[in-house]
């Protein structure tokens, strides 16, 4: 059963709305002796997604009261609760080598999102109304203690897709996170195999951008569209749909008249003609489902850049206006404001969770990184209404919880983002961060040594830690906490103990001396900085240094003698995340306060007892 494409979602009390996820449509069959994942074409998928099968095997005892059952759903790699990385699932589906599949399953674990119930306890449910099927599906998930909503980085790989009673509730998060769209479902609809039903209507979340034409293929009637990237023409796809017969005839005539080459029915033309297309994001650098909207005769083809495409694909407030996109922010090589904002848009899914609900301090560089900079804490009077703020100790701080706020700040040339260790909703830290500060970048390997020494200690106590570059000359080691679980006094006891231990072990390499003149060539382990009112550079923030160095989260395996700050510019980090994912992707799902509390108890016991006055 497939949904029918619609331009608009229907309204009415008999309609509900679900997020449409972009992945592999699949059926999940579970009995007391067998688990089968299969595509809608009845292709076995167990071998391609072993992590999903393994999770269900682990949960089988809780699922047995409902077996045999069949679920309809989507296999996805979630990037947010409402969006997915379609390419990650496509790559997995093409893999054949079991060892490669297992490796990919570890790095990019996929989940099965269930949105319908076709069978339970061996009884077919397809003829009963959708409302009843959904209710029974929800009861199954609650009874088996499964995830009741999609959540990326969750260890529970069987997750429930809820519906919303209003279109706005469903659509807004999809728009905010560049999701694929929504599916409107009639509460009375039955499930009918092999048909495209009007009881389910899908509405897609299309992007719009402008491209220049570079060719026309007469054999299939497709026009080829391109953008300018790093000074070179980059093809991003071809289109045929959406253009009227009259427009097509005129465009074909122009292309043939101005063709620079012709061969086997393909006509190449020099960049000149600009068109606006709608499409569903990119897949491997190519437009998905592009269609023609209009000619853009007023556009210069050189304005159709890769960076502008990233901006156009981003789900941001319609009133945001970007100014001076060509302004150079870094020199040698030149990095423009447009490229910087495009970076913020691409890195936002990984960066925004660390900015969420934090009182933000930014450093702005209005004339680029070679000019003067200034700190900003207070929200300016000219900030638009969609920028949120929070009053704390007399300062009205900006709260950056969404992409619109992030790119608005980027347009204000806020290059550095500094965050406190607590949120606007907590009085105590939500993380511990050690700042490993060598005397210069030439002494960077001291930071590597200190970080690895810390990891050795943390591993002994089963404390999970996360390294990141400062983006300047050192490293930082993060440890996540449950909000308000430990006080600043307790975390100070922990950070001081670790710092003093490392200094005692390596007195010639490390120090806790606050005065720079007394440190010599030793690395400063700054545990004092972890305190109320202090800040740390946000993960993925750029720095206002000689190049666009990034406060890049790292995998521990990359913290070695080959590590350098210079290797983690903004473009390098985007490429790394595209290939390997975010090293901090499970950060907020792995709080370490219970383990640290046990260690604090040991630290307290190891302290020498004070002698009483009587003795």
C-alpha to C-alpha distance for 557 and 106, rounded to whole angstroms: 15
The conformational region for residue 426 under phi > 0 = left, psi -120 to 50 = alpha, else beta, is beta
Cα–Cα separations (whole angstroms), residue 51 to 23, 109, 145, 404: 16, 7, 18, 35
Q: Is 435 in a helix, a strand, or coil?
A: strand
Pick from 426, 561, 429: nearest CA to 489 = 429
Q: Is 134 in a helix, a strand, or coil?
A: helix
Pick from 225, 218, 236, 208: nearest CA to 273 = 225
C-alpha to C-alpha distance for 150 and 84, rounded to whole angstroms: 11
**CB under 8 Å to 381, separation ≥6 — which residues?**
none
- Residue for token pair 């206006």: 321
Is residue 185 among the annotated active site residues? no
Backbone angles phi, psi at 525, to 5 degrees: -90, 100
Buried b / exposed e over 255-291, threshold 16 CB at 10 Å, is: beeeeeeeeeebbbbebebbbebbbbbbeeeebbebe
**Which helix (H) or strand (E) is 212 found in, with range?**
strand 207-217
Beta strands in 347-457 (DSSP E): 361-364, 374-376, 388-392, 395-399, 414-420, 431-437
Q: How is residue 591 written in tokens?
A: 């709080």
The dihedral through the CA atoms of 181, 571, 105, 160 has a sign that is negative
C-alpha to C-alpha distance for 343 and 333, rounded to whole angstroms: 16
Given the residues 20, 449, 468, 547, select the one marked as catalytic: 20
Backbone angles phi, psi at 111, to 5 degrees: -130, 155
Pick from 173, 137, 142, 154: nearest CA to 17 = 173
C-alpha to C-alpha distance for 156 and 555, rounded to whole angstroms: 23
Q: How is residue 416 written in tokens?
A: 């550095």
Cis peptide before 68 (omega within 30 of 0): yes
Contact 398, 389 (CB under 8 A): yes
Q: Which residues are catalytic?
A: 20
């Amino acid at each position: 059963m497939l949904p029918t494409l619609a331009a608009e979602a229907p309204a009415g009390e008999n309609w509900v709305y679900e997020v449409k996820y972009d992945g592999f449509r699949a059926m999940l069959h579970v009995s007391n002796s067998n688990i089968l994942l299969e595509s809608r074409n009845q292709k076995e998928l167990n071998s391609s997604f072993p992590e999903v099968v393994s999770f269900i095997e682990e949960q089988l005892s809780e699922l047995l009261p409902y077996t045999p059952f069949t679920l309809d759903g989507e296999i996805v790699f979630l990037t947010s609760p409402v969006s997915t990385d379609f390419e990650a699932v496509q790559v997995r589906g093409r893999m054949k080598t079991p060892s490669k599949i297992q490796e990919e399953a570890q790095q990019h674990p996929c989940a099965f999102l269930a949105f319908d119930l076709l069978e339970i306890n061996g009884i077919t449910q397809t003829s009963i109304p959708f409302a009843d099927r959904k209710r029974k599906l929800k009861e199954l998930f609650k009874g088996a203690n499964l995830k009741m909503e999609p959540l990326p980085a969750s260890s529970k790989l069987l997750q429930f897709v809820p519906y919303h009673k209003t279109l706005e509730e469903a659509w807004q998060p999809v728009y905010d996170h560049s999701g694929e769209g929504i599916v409107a479902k009639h509460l009375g609809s039955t499930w009918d195999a092999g048909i495209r039903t009007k009881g389910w209507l899908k509405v897609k979340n299309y992007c719009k951008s402008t491209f220049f034409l570079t060719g026309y293929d007469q054999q299939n009637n497709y026009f080829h569209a391109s953008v300018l990237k790093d000074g070179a023409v980059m093809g991003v796809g071809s289109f045929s749909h959406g253009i009227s017969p009259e427009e097509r005839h005129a465009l074909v005539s122009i292309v043939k008249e101005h063709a620079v080459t012709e061969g086997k029915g393909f006509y190449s033309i020099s960049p000149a003609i600009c068109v606006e297309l709608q499409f569903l994001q990119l897949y491997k650098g190519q437009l998905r489902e592009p269609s023609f909207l209009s000619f853009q005769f007023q556009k210069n083809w050189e304005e159709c850049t890769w960076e502008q495409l990233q901006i156009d694909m981003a789900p941001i407030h319609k009133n945001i206006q970007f100014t001076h996109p060509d302004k150079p922010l870094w020199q040698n090589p030149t990095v423009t404001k447009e490229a910087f904002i495009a970076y913020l848009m691409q890195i936002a899914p990984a960066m925004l969770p660390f900015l969420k609900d934090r009182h933000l301090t930014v450093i702005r560089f209005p004339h680029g990184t070679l000019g003067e900079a200034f700190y900003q804490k207070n929200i300016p009077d000219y900030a638009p209404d969609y920028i949120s703020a929070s009053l704390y100790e007399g300062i009205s701080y900006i709260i950056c919880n969404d992409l619109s706020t992030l790119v608005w700040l980027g347009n204000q040339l806020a290059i550095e983002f500094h965050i406190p260790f607590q949120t606007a909703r907590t009085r105590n830290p939500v993380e511990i961060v050690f700042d490993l500060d060598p005397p210069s970048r030439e002494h960077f390997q001291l930071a590597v040594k200190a970080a690895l020494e810390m990891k050795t200690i943390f591993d002994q106590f089963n404390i999970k830690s996360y390294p990141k570059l400062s983006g300047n000359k050192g490293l930082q080691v993060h440890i996540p906490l449950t909000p308000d679980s430990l006080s600043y006094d307790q975390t100070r006891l922990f950070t001081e103990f670790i710092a003093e231990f490392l200094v005692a072990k390596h007195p010639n390499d490390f120090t806790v001396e606050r005065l720079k003149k007394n440190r010599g060539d030793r690395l400063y382990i700054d545990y004092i900085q972890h305190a109320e009112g202090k800040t740390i550079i946000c993960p993925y923030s750029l720095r206002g240094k000689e190049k666009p160095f990034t406060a890049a989260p790292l995998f521990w395996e990359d913290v070695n003698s080959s590590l350098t700050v210079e290797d983690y510019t903004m473009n390098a980090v985007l490429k790394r995340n595209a290939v390997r994912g975010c090293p901090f992707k499970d950060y907020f799902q792995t709080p370490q306060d219970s383990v640290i509390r046990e260690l604090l108890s040991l630290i307290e016991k190891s302290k020498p007892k004070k002698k009483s006055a009587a003795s």
